[in-house]
Amino acid sequence: MKELMIRNLPELPFDMSEALNQLRVNLGFCGDQVKAVMVTSSVPNEGKSFVAMQLWKQMAEVGTPTLLIDCDLRNSELRSKYGISSTEKLIGSAHYLAGRAELEDVLYQTNVPNGYILPVASAIANPTILLEGERFAKMVETCRKMFGYILIDTPPIGSVADALNIATHCDGTVLVVRSGSTPRKMVDNSVQLLKRTETPLLGIVLNRADMNSKSNLYYHRYYRSGYYYNHQGYGYGYGQQAKKNNKVK
């Protein structure tokens, strides 16, 4: 298998790492049938790619072979922010979906033990046809047999329809919400759109939460979240009620 180096993957402070670790554990409570998980948001700049990358790293480091599929073909943050490089010419998901490469040509082992990536090599202006094709479904199903978990980073739901197409091939979705920024109606709309795909909403990550803010009292009540963490502008919430229902909240 080809190798890929991730150069910009900083170590997180303990408390932030532990918050993400709690998310990983709670996802495990969803059951063995949940293997392919979509990570998305309502609008850009909510932190979905950060959560996807760090959750992928956590899963891999505990010994679970985990694949991160970059499906933000229009504007990949994983490619631009994390210093992804290879000694060979980088080819990615668009090459496979267009029939220009086989799956083994676009899967990369990384410098994170047990961590594998299917990257985006270059931006695609209109990837809808590629995501709706048979090769996408085949890609996900084949990867299910190869890895313990698959995390799929997608474009925001409110920007383009890509994420909704991808959701139909996943076992569930994690929705990232930027606290104090994303309008409540937009979050509600994203939840309703996901319901139409009949793909379970496994949970919501409340990102960049200032728990001293009155606006976050709404999120606390709305999502019934019992655990929050705030460090250098990032925050995460997970609900106690959700654990009882085998879901992350």
Higher pLDDT among residues 224 and 3, named by residue: 3
Domain for residue 204, yes or no?
yes
pLDDT tier at 103, thresholds 50, 70, 90? very high
> Looking at residue 129, which CATH number applies to its domain?
3.40.50.300
Flag whether 216 is in a domain: yes
Please indicate, yes or no, if residue 91 is contained in any of the structural domains: yes
Domain tally for the chain? 1
Are the C-beta atoms of residues 2 and 109 closer than 8 Å to each other? yes
Compute the distance between CA of residue 72 and CA of residue 67 in angstroms, rounded to an integer: 15
**Model pLDDT, residue 213:** 52
Helix H or strand E encompassing 96: helix 93-97
**Residue 44 falls within a domain, yes or no?**
yes
pLDDT (mean) for 3-24? 88
Q: In terms of Cα–Cα distance, which of 222, 185, 189 is closest to 206?
A: 222
How far is it, in rounded angstroms, from Cα 112 to Cα 132?
A: 31
What pLDDT shows up at residue 210? 62
Is there a domain that residue 14 lies in? yes
Tell me: pLDDT of 237 over 60.
Answer: no
On whether residue 249 sits in a domain, the answer given is no
Q: What is residue 211's predicted lDDT score, i.e. its pLDDT?
A: 53
Q: Which secondary structure element, helix H or strand E, spans residue 27, and what is its range? A: helix 14-28
Decide if 183 is inside a domain: yes
Question: Which of the pair, 19 or 167, is modelled with greater confidence?
Answer: 167
What are the pLDDT digits (tens) for 118-154? 999 888 888 988 999 999 999 999 999 999 999 999 9
Residues 220, 225, 228, 234, Cα dihedral to 10°: -70
Q: Is pLDDT of 249 > 70?
A: no
Number of CB atoms found within 10 A of residue 40's CB: 29
The mean predicted confidence, pLDDT, of the chain is: 83
**In the predicted model, is pLDDT for residue 216 greater than 80?**
no
Range(s) of the domain holding residue 104: 2-244
